[in-house]
Amino acid sequence: MSKEKNYVDLTVSDRTTMAAYVARPKDTGMHPGIIVLQEAFGVNAYIRDVADRFAKEGFTAIAPELFHRTAPGFEGSYADFPAVQPHTSKLTHDGLEADIRATYDWLTKDDRTVAGKIFSVGFCMGGRVSYLANSVVPLAAAVSFYGGGIAPGLLDRAGNLHGPMLFFWGGLDKHILPEHTRAVEDALRGAGKEFGNVTFSYADHGFFCDQRPAYNEKAAKQAWPMTLEFLKYHLK
């Protein structure tokens, strides 16, 4: 069940229930929607803050709990990555696609969200899921921050992308190497898809998250307005 008034319960096609954090703009008008996709550490204070930031920019933001099958309400510690692995290892493409559809459907039925103006953004694990989401539902555009596993695991989805993609990478990232980012670029170019690639040479994996040791203020403060401009351009 929903934990508090800012949460909704979504019924997924496999008959599971998934909680999702919702942040709305203060005014009661119609707004575009954005799916905010978590890191491996859950829909924690950082992800909720990102959703709140998008709400302040005029988006109906919803952050689904992707670990709802194994650990509803899970919030991991950035200092204890092994604790998240039992949950990340149980994620499947079929399950994630069902979660994406349930979240997208909630936005399309929401009476304060503009149909056809729905986006996604994700970080780390969620960066990969944001790319996946763009291949599953008709997003207007999608943003992926250091999405590990797109290459090689999801390169075959490039031809299915609905909206333009914006990718952010950290040049110091030891998990996502230059050959991985080149493979993503080559796949999208080969599929004739519209995309942007931004690499901050001085930033590491997780640079946008101000709760992580890898937080890089310079890169984060440049990436945020780029993200907003990209999304708002595709609202036109």
Q: Structure pTM?
A: 0.97
Evaluate whether 151 touches 180 at the Cβ level (below 8 Å).
Answer: yes
Residue partners of 189: CB distance under 8 A and separation at least 6: 195
Domain range annotation of the chain: 7-233
pLDDT at residue 3 is higher than 80: no
pLDDT of amino acid 5? 74
Mean pLDDT calculated for residue range 122-145? 98
Mean pLDDT calculated for residue range 55-69? 98
Which residues does residue 18 pair with via DSSP β-bridges, in sequence order? 10
pLDDT at residue 62 is higher than 60: yes
Mean pLDDT calculated for residue range 16-45? 97
Distance CA 201, CA 216 (A): 11
Choose, from 31, 180, 205, 234, the residue flagged as catalytic. 205
Within 89-216, where are the H helices?
93-109, 125-136, 178-190
Q: Which of 14, 206, 228, 163 is nearest to 101 (CA)?
A: 14
Which residues does residue 1 pair with via DSSP β-bridges, in sequence order? none
Which CATH number fits the domain 7-233, given the four candidates 3.40.50.1820, 2.40.33.20, 3.30.360.10, 3.40.50.720?
Answer: 3.40.50.1820
205 is catalytic: yes
pLDDT of amino acid 1? 43
Distance CA 191, CA 185 (A): 10
Mark residue 138 as left, alpha or beta (left: phi above 0; alpha: psi -120 to 50; beta: remaining): beta
On average, the pLDDT of the chain sits at 96
Evaluate whether 37 touches 133 at the Cβ level (below 8 Å).
Answer: yes
pLDDT digits (tens, 9 = 90+) for 136-158: 999 999 999 999 999 999 999 99
pLDDT digits (tens, 9 = 90+) for 177-233: 999 999 999 999 999 999 999 999 999 999 999 999 999 999 999 999 999 999 999
pLDDT of amino acid 236? 83
Which residues does residue 10 pair with via DSSP β-bridges, in sequence order? 18
Choose, from 99, 110, 173, 204, the residue flagged as catalytic. 173
Choose, from 31, 124, 180, 209, the residue flagged as catalytic. 124
